[in-house]
């Protein structure tokens, strides 16, 4: 193979002999070629190819062009104390490479899997790349194996060390596997293309475990300790919180649990023992995070960013005034006014930023409001009431209906205990609790109850297993408050742009400050030049313009039920590429509704429209009447009083969600349900419990002449069917034979497959002779029949999708946005809802669907054949980061079910790792970490191929394994909370609140966000065009010595007055924005220059009109500004006093200012559209037309208002002096019309590439 140029051959001597690399690159194929030379074994000559596959990032620079290669030093048995740096001669985008090594007796082979490693991701910015190379030199017992065979053996999962990516750290943990004398060398290589800080602020920690022969404890060696210890500990803490809950308290026996905690199920802890544990573990409270003092936050906003530059200008302006006041009887007050105005601008901007930042500090306050106040505890056999914060692990607590669970507890006794986990897991249904372990997952087992959840029914006794920060809620709180929020894309772009402009301002200011000294100006005059150039360059109105645009969009979104808390989230939502949506209450209506009924051997869709009349039920079949009678009577739910005028489906109900659904349907179908219940008086009830799984009620008959009792029963369909011997079909009782049972099973399975909750109903008319009127039914020992009943039918319920959601999901798909469902509900229910709303498209199959269609086991189906996938939380828990990324990349329609808070966060991070900007919706506490999560830069695997050209047969084997990482450019996610059903915590963590809990409102937000970036480009371009005519007067003032054409205060008036008054509301075109060179080139290099020429033309016209021809003005400044010269001769021989000259100068400055406003008319019009002709676009945008009139009126006000002469140095102008700028304004208009015409007719041409911003 031909080795191309830029080959670097490096050698280094170590304790074991000479070694070296020969590295080259192939430009077209983007291939690394690495040749290893070793004098240890002359016959070893191995060539490895590391090829970048075509699916990799488009923006990866050509390897041949970068010419960056690094040397892997061969290090001996001991850990070297220093780091070896190698800086290659390379382009500026390469930061550095560094190598380090450590010695251990283990094999470090952290390869995700054998075969190809491929990435399909592309980014808006070019990402920083990170390479990690591991070298392992070892002696093997089986020396005759080929390299390929050995490679295949070593990449087996049981031999691989682990590579864990946590925030900005990579931890490498090595598993021993009988390898000896292993030397590990780790090398990091960065392609720097996005941000220097992405690497320098993210050093990596390598953890090497050394198992020596003495059997000493494993110890960790940390390298690159440039991170502060506090941040390192915080990262470790967050990594621990992100791990799934790993406990066995729910699986061990009650006796073992008591033994562990030293407690007794009846007597509890002793007071002394409890006090001892309390002193050791601390209070049962959530630890508030460390927060910066408010004054520090305020000062950071007041003095951060380019505000420092304006503060410097303020200081210099005031100092200039002070110095002039000290040396002159009548100092010029312009510098004083300039300093005061600059200070006001900085203070107002800083205060606005400070108040925007305060919202994140309120998250922990919301968690505090969820902490229970008191708890009933058993201590030394006595019940005592304690403050919940005094509870300790091992305490025996009693929980009853209405209580809030005071800690994470293991249930040891209970009676009908149900808890509301909605704030924790997102499940809307109360969950029954029991002493038995029902699931290995602690979040799903029924014998655990969690801190801050509510007990809604029953009572129980439990043992405290976790307190405070160690509880599930505490872990969520730690995640939500500990996650650092990154800047939004718009904030990064604008800050990057401001840094560029600020650097330019400083360079120009200092340059002309020095030039002024060289030309002999007084130092105070040089300071004035410095201030003028800085003020002219810094876009003071930029942040205000952006804020106005975002605020107007947020106001418009509020009218569409989207309440924006963080203005920058408006734009970020427009950049969204993935929406991770909760199911309950967002995609669905969050109220159970009867969906289907099965009676008379027919499956009927239930009609829940409120326009029904009673005539339908009068003519209905007897089977239907029997079914709705059971549903009406065997139901404990009731409407809350005072809701007669509220639609039935919106009424509040006291009772179980399923019973509420049945009650509402009966109210719609029958009318007044409560009156029917009164006519059929209930005489006995056997409540539902988790053991029986059915509910029974006995009623007197509505017909007073019929003295019999009616028994009605509902419950789990299979249990109800067991109790029945007959079935009611078409008004007749028929034996419940095998055929009817098969029909029942078919209907039951069909309804279950739709994700619906199914209830079975049966009844029995009790014989009068055995159960006469007034019969005493026994509640303890049922003295009435519970078998040989008559099966009536089935009712199924579902939380139905919102009507607007399918259309909203379709809009998202057409706009290139992927919608992922993340729910705590059952996979079958989640899949059914996903299909009904279009998250899983019609015709797309999951692996299970394909297996069922082909009638083959699931294991025989290739997962890549399925576009859709439904993943259970238990499966997600076992996925590696690489496997999750593969799922997110490959499958376009994804549903995650039974997810925990940590898993929701993991899903969001996974989406962000592969380059997506994620919007997250949620309403529970469990959603708060995901809602708050924002990327700071995470690692993910890129796939590469490994090729070997020559097998190795030698007992001294050297293996190279490369892992290719991409450092993802920082991304921001948007948290969207529910306004109606959302918890306070989720609302505090979110950036946006949906006032109607409707997913369709998110799509509205996306549409508005996509518009805002396009409009911001136009607004910023419009704002920047005035910078050139603001700077050029100072350049002419210094270089050619003319009187100052434009004052600093006039510049501020342009930036903060006229530029802010105009803004462009959204239009329909959706584009991607980057504040790039094209925008600056258009604003500065083209339109800005024309505006400067217009300003100077007006300046020279007025000067000539008063006697100073242009050539006369060159070099005149030294005499012009001298107070001692009162007889300066103009071109016509007239004499000018100092004060007369200054009046003329300020008049010209005002005219220059007005001319900029006039030419900005054209700027405002041309920036309204970037491609279409303004003749086609029209001027129908009335707010923009008002802005045009506003800036003109403001310019006139500043010119003619009395008092402006003294404060702003603005002088009245003749009407004719407004006219010189008009030809230039027309020139700008016609020039840009021509440019746009050429772009439209020659797309992709030079003008399109170079001027389309």
Write out the catalytic residue numbers: 582
Using DSSP, state whether 1136 is helix, strand or coil: strand
User: CB of 60 within 8 A of CB of 94?
Assistant: no
**Alpha-carbon gap, residue 1237 to 478, rounded angstroms:** 57
Q: Measured between alpha carbons, how far is 810 from 802 in angstroms, rounded to an integer?
A: 14
Q: What's the rounded Cα separation, in Å, for the pair 504 and 1070?
A: 31
CA distance 616 to 600: 17
CB 1047 within 8 A of CB 1142: no
Measured CA to CA, the distance from residue 851 to residue 857 in angstroms comes to: 6
Is there a contact between 224 and 205 (Cβ–Cβ < 8 Å)?
yes
Please tell me the distance from the alpha carbon of residue 651 to that of residue 635, in angstroms, as a whole number: 17
- What are the backbone angles phi and psi of residue 138, rounded to the nearest 5°? -150, 160
CB 170 within 8 A of CB 177: no
Phi and psi at residue 1220, to the nearest 5°: -60, -25
Neighbours of 410 (CB within 10 A): 23
CA-to-CA distance for 829 and 896, rounded, in angstroms?
A: 11
- Cα distances from 581 to residues 392, 511, 898, in angstroms, run 37, 54, 14
Distance CA 1194, CA 1054 (A): 10
CA gap 53, 32 in Å, rounded: 12
**Cα separation, 212 vs 208, whole angstroms:** 12
Residues 6+ apart with CB under 8 A from 775: 709
Q: Rounded to whole angstroms, how far apart are CA atoms 1119 and 1115?
A: 9
To which residue do tokens 């004083």 refer?
336
DSSP H helices in 891-969: 901-913, 928-932
Residues 6+ apart with CB under 8 A from 842: 835
Q: With contact defined as beta carbons under 8 Å apart, do 134 and 184 qualify? A: yes
Report the C-alpha gap between 564 and 985 in whole angstroms. Answer: 16
Residues 6+ apart with CB under 8 A from 941: 112, 117, 119, 881, 882, 885, 963, 964, 965
Q: Are 359 and 365 in contact (CB under 8 A)?
A: no
Identify the burial level of 576 via C-beta atoms within 10 angstroms of its C-beta, where 0-12 means exposed, 13-18 middle and 19 or more buried: buried
Q: Rounded CA gap, 704 and 701, in Å?
A: 7
Give the CA count within 13 Å in the CB-facing half-sphere of 432. Answer: 14
Q: Is 1196 helix (H, G, I), strand (E, B) or coil?
A: helix
Whose structure tokens read 């087996």?
156
CA distance 486 to 508: 32
Contact 635, 695 (CB under 8 A): no
Q: What is the SS3 assignment for 370?
A: coil
β-strand partners of 765: 710
CA distance 86 to 246: 43
Q: How far is residue 896's CA from residue 876's CA, in Å, rounded to a whole number?
A: 8
């Amino acid at each position: 193979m031909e080795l191309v140029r830029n080959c670097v051959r490096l050698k280094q001597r170590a304790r074991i002999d000479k070694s070296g690399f020969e590295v080259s690159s192939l430009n077209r194929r983007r291939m690394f070629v690495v040749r290893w030379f070793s004098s240890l074994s002359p016959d070893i000559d191995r060539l490895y190819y590391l090829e970048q596959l075509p699916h990799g990032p488009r923006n990866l620079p050509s390897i041949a062009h970068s010419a960056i290669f690094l040397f892997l030093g061969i290090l001996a048995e001991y850990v070297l104390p220093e780091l070896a740096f190698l800086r290659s001669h390379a382009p500026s985008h390469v930061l550095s490479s560094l190598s380090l090594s450590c010695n251990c007796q283990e094999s470090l082979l952290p390869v995700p899997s054998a075969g190809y490693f491929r990435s399909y991701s592309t980014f808006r910015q070019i990402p920083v790349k990170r390479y990690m190379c591991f070298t392992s030199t070892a002696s093997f017992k089986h020396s005759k194996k080929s390299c390929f065979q050995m490679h295949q053996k070593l990449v087996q999962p049981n031999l691989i060390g682990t590579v864990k990516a946590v925030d900005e750290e990579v931890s490498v943990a090595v598993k021993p596997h009988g390898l000896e004398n292993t030397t590990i060398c780790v090398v990091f290589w960065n392609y720097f293309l996005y941000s220097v800080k992405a690497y320098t602020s993210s050093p990596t920690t390598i953890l090497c475990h050394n198992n020596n022969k003495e059997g000493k404890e494993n110890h960790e060696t940390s390298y690159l300790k440039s991170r502060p210890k506090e941040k390192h500990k915080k990262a470790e803490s967050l990594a621990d919180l992100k791990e799934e809950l790993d406990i066995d308290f729910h699986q061990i026996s009650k006796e073992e649990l008591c033994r562990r905690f030293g407690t007794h199920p009846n007597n509890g802890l002793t007071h002394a023992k409890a006090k001892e544990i309390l002193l050791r573990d601390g209070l049962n409270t959530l630890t508030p995070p460390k927060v910066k003092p408010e004054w520090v936050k305020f000062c950071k906003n007041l003095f951060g960013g380019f505000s420092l530059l304006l503060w410097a200008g303020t200081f210099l302006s005031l100092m200039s005034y002070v110095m002039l006041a000290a040396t002159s009887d009548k100092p010029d007050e312009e510098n004083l006014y300039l300093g005061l105005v600059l200070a006001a601008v900085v203070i107002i901007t800083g205060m606005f930023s400070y108040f925007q930042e305060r919202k994140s500090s309120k998250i922990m306050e919301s968690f505090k409001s969820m902490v229970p106040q008191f708890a009933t505890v058993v201590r030394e056999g006595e019940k005592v009431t304690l403050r919940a914060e005094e509870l300790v692990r091992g305490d025996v607590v009693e929980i009853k209906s209405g209580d809030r669970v005071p800690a994470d507890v293991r249930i040891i006794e209970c009676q009908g205990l149900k808890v509301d986990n909605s704030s924790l897991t997102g499940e809307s249904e109360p969950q029954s609790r029991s002493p038995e372990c029902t699931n290995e997952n602690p979040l799903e087992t029924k014998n655990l109850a969690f801190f801050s959840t509510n007990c809604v029914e029953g009572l129980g006794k439990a043992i405290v297993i976790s307190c405070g920060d160690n509880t599930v809620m505490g872990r969520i709180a730690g995640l939500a408050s500990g996650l650092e929020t990154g800047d939004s894309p718009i904030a990064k772009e604008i800050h990057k742009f401001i840094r560029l402009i600020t650097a330019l301002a400083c360079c120009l200011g200092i340059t002309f400050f020095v030039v002024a000294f060289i030309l002999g100006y007084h130092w105070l005059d040089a300071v004035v030049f410095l201030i003028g150039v800085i003020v002219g360059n810094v876009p003071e109105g930029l942040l205000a313009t952006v804020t106005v645009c975002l605020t107007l969009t947020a106001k418009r979104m509020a009218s569409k039920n989207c309440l924006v808390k963080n203005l920058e989230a408006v734009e970020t939502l427009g950049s969204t590429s993935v929406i991770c949506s909760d199911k309950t209450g967002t995609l669905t209506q969050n109220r159970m509704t009867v969906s289907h009924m099965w009676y008379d051997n027919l499956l009927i869709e239930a009609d829940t429209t409120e326009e029904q009349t009673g005539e339908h039920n009068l003519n209905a079949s007897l089977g239907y009447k029997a079914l709705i009678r059971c549903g009406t009577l065997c139901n404990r739910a009731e409407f809350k009083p005072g809701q007669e005028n509220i639609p039935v489906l919106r009424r509040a109900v006291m009772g179980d969600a399923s019973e509420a659904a049945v009650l509402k349907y009966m109210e719609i179908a029958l009318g007044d349900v409560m009156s029917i219940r009164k006519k059929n008086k209930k005489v006995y009830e056997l409540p539902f419990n988790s053991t029986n799984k059915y509910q029974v009620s006995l009623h007197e008959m509505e017909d007073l002449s019929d003295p019999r009792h009616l028994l009605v029963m509902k419950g789990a369909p299979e249990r109800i069917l067991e109790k029945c011997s007959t079935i009611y079909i078409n008004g007749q009782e028929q034996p419940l034979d095998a055929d009817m049972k098969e029909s029942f099973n078919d209907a039951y399975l069909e309804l279950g497959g739709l994700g619906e909750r199914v209830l079975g109903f049966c009844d029995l008319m009790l014989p009068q002779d055995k159960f006469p009127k007034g019969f005493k039914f026994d509640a303890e020992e049922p003295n009435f029949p519970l078998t040989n009943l008559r099966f009536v039918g089935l009712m199924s319920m579902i939380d139905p999708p919102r009507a607007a959601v399918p259309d909203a999901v379709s809009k998202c798909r057409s706009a290139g946005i992927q919608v992922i469902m993340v729910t705590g509900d059952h996979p079958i229910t989640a899949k059914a809802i996903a299909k009904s709303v279009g998250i899983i498209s019609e015709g797309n199959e999951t692996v299970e669907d394909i297996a069922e269609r082909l009638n083959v086991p699931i294991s025989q189906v290739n997962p890549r054949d399925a576009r859709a996938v439904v993943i259970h939380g238990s499966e997600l828990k076992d996925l590696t980061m690489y496997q999750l990324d593969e799922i997110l990349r490959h499958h376009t329609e994804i549903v995650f079910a039974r997810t925990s808070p940590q898993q929701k966060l993991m899903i969001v991070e996974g989406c962000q790792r592969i380059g997506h900007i994620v919007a997250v919706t949620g309403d529970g506490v469990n959603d708060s970490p995901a809602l708050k999560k924002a990327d700071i830069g995470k690692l993910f695997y890129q796939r590469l191929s490994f090729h070997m050209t020559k097998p190795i047969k030698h007992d001294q084997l050297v293996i190279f394994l490369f892992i290719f990482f991409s450092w993802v450019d920082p991304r921001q996610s948007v948290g969207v909370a529910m306004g109606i059903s959302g918890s306070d915590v989720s609302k505090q963590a979110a950036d946006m609140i949906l006032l109607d809990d409707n997913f369709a409102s998110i799509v509205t937000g996306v549409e508005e966000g996509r518009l805002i970036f396009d409009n911001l480009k136009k607004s910023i371009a419009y704002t920047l065009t005035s910078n050139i005519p603001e700077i050029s007067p100072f350049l002419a003032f210094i270089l050619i010595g003319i009187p100052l054409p434009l004052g600093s205060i006039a510049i501020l008036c342009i930036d903060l007055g006229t530029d802010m008054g105009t803004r462009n509301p959204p239009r329909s075109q959706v584009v991607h924005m980057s504040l790039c060179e094209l925008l600056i080139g258009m604003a500065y290099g083209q339109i800005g220059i024309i505006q400067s020429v217009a300003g100077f033309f007006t300046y020279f016209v007025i000067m000539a009109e008063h006697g100073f021809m242009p050539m006369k003005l060159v070099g005149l400044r030294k005499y012009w500004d001298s107070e001692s010269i009162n007889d300066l001769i103009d071109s016509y021989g007239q004499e000018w006093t100092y004060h007369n000259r200054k009046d003329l100068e300020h008049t010209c400055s005002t005219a220059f200012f007005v001319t900029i406003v006039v030419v900005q008319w054209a700027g405002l019009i041309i920036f309204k559209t970037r491609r279409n002709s303004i003749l086609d676009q029209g001027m129908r945008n009335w707010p923009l037309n008002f802005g045009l009139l506003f800036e003109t009126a403001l310019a006139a006000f500043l010119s003619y208002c009395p008092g402006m002469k003294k404060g702003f140095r603005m002088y009245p102008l003749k009407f004719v002096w407004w006219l010189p700028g008009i030809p230039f304004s027309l020139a700008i208009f016609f020039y840009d019309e021509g440019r746009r015409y050429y772009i439209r007719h020659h797309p992709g041409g030079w003008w399109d590439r170079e001027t389309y911003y």
